[in-house]
Amino acid sequence: MIENKFMNSNQVSIIIPTYNESKNIISILKSIGSNLPKNLHTEAIVVDDNSPDGTGKLVEDYLKNIKKMADYTIEIIHRKAKDGLGSAILKGIQHAKGDTIVVMDCDFSHPPHIIPKLIESIKKYQYDIVVASRYIKGGKIQGWSLKRKTMSKFATLIAKKGLGIDTKDPMSGFFAFKRSIIKGLNIDAIGYKFLLEILVKTRDVTIKEIPYTFQDRKFGSSKLSIRTIFDYYRSVWKLYRYGKPLEKQEKRSSVKFLYKAGRFYTVGASGFIVNYMISLLLTGGISDMWYLHANVVGIIASITTNFILNKTWTFGDRDFRVKKTISQYGKFAMFSSLGALVQLGMVYFLVDSNNISYPLALILAVMTAAFGNFILNKKFTFKEKLLE
Ligand code: GDD
Ligand code: MN
């Protein structure tokens, strides 16, 4: 939750996270100062993670030596350890006094002359979020390798398709927003993708993109790591579960019911294949087990794969606590055995007393038993209402 009682209504706060940026930080602070719009109070907040290259100390010394300006102040927050870009941004926002927040890197990839345009779009045109964008007309990237460009494009594609985002550059690290729009939001700030999280979690906001040219840094090196990439997928997954795409999903309970039943049947079919393959392999392919034993192994294997698929896919259950999962597995196996008995009984009844051909009887029996199984597992194993 983000609250701040000192909020000042005509101030802009620029958040600048730093890690090992001793070659950039002072010049970016100066450059920001000389690019600010007039008649506005701006505070720059540097959030440094105890950079080994002394970035934090450098800023402290610099602040001691410059004379205070009325409309541009600089503050520094020191954190003990490198805790990630997203959480540094969040920390900065929690300290910020402005009603408008700007976030940018300190390595000159984000040109300070764009800042007035961002602020204008918010203060004058009243947009809620403004994104400095590489991926709209007029925007560019300079100095990135093909590999890095492709990674960025791919990550952007995932966000757009996976999370239903319309913004062209949701991965931008250069953006501004009205502080009021994130009030009350629970922000995870995993990894690099702060903007993406805001885009997913805010509703009914107006968004504008402004083109700019992203220049790769001249000094120091990128902090993007394998870890950052994993963090990205983790945060997309979390955001995916958060809500917006779910909202777009089917709401009619009858249709949702049919969807799930369809998945349950599909899983059942896959289980049949598993069972068949394993039984065949054990009796001929890799061992010469007695066919009844082989069939038992096949049945157990298929019940297990069916269980895993139904838990994660059909019912979307992500709770893997051991005790709970074992108890679900027990119920699932019990219902499966029950289903097998029902199936057997039905085949016998249909063929023997109603003179229905064996193939047809088998199909009818399998469908019925599977349907019963679906209902029982939905209600008792995964504790869902029958129609929700
Ligand atoms: N405090 C703190 N802690 N700052 C950090 C950390 C951290 O753990 N990691 C990175 N930073 C700071 C850097 O010092 C820099 O000012 C800024 O965050 C961006 O880091 P870079 O390492 O320069 O990132 P990049 O250039 O690879 O990626 C940039 O462009 C991407 C566009 O695809 C960032 O702006 C990304 O957010 C953006 O998505
Ligand atoms: Mn950079």
Does 388 fall in a domain? no
Q: When comparing pLDDT for 3 and 33, which is higher? A: 33
- For residue 47 and ligand 1, the question of a CB distance below 6 A is answered with yes
Does 276 fall in a domain? yes
- For residue 22 and ligand 1, the question of a CB distance below 6 A is answered with no
User: Probe ligand 1: pick from 22, 87, 89, 105, max atoms within 8 Å of CB?
Assistant: 105
- For residue 244 and ligand 1, the question of a CB distance below 6 A is answered with no
Please, which pLDDT band fits residue 5 given cuts at 50, 70 and 90? Answer: very low
**Among the atoms of ligand 1, which is closest to the Cα of residue 195?**
37
Tokens at 19, concatenated: 């890690």
Does 76 fall in a domain? yes
The protein residue with its alpha carbon nearest to ligand 1, atom 8, reads 84
Total domain count, the chain: 2
**Among the atoms of ligand 1, which is closest to the Cα of residue 88?**
1
CA distance 256 to 140: 43
Burial of 100 (0-12, 13-18, 19+ CB in 10 A): buried
Indicate if the pLDDT at residue 289 is higher than 90: no
Closest-approaching ligand to the CA atom of 152: 1
The protein residue with its alpha carbon nearest to ligand 1, atom 13, reads 18
- Specify whether 140 is located in the same domain as 258: no
The protein residue with its alpha carbon nearest to ligand 1, atom 24, reads 222
Indicate if the pLDDT at residue 7 is higher than 60: no
**How many Å lie between the centroid of ligand 2 and the Cα of residue 109?**
6
Classify the phi-psi angles of 383: left when phi > 0, otherwise alpha if psi is within -120 to 50, otherwise beta. Answer: left
- Specify whether 190 is located in the same domain as 314: no
The protein residue with its alpha carbon nearest to ligand 1, atom 19, reads 105
Please, which pLDDT band fits residue 248 given cuts at 50, 70 and 90? Answer: low
For the entire predicted model, the pTM comes to 0.68
- Residues 193 and 235 sit within 8 Å (Cβ to Cβ): yes
The protein residue with its alpha carbon nearest to ligand 1, atom 14, reads 18
Does 157 fall in a domain? yes
Give the domain CATH number at 30: 3.90.550.10
For residue 35, give its domain range: 8-229
- pLDDT 10s digits, 327-382: 999 999 999 999 999 999 999 988 888 888 888 888 889 989 999 999 999 999 99
**How many Å lie between the centroid of ligand 1 and the Cα of residue 86?**
9
**3-state DSSP percent of the chain in helix, strand and coil, to 5:** 55, 10, 35
**Among the atoms of ligand 1, which is closest to the Cα of residue 228?**
9
Of residues 313, 214, 226, 318, the one with CA closest to residue 266: 313
Top mean-pLDDT range of 124-128, 219-223, 242-246, 352-356: 124-128
- Specify whether 55 is located in the same domain as 184: yes
- Specify whether 164 is located in the same domain as 266: no
Distances (CA, A) of 382 to 16, 175, 270: 46, 43, 20
- Residues 187 and 1 sit within 8 Å (Cβ to Cβ): no
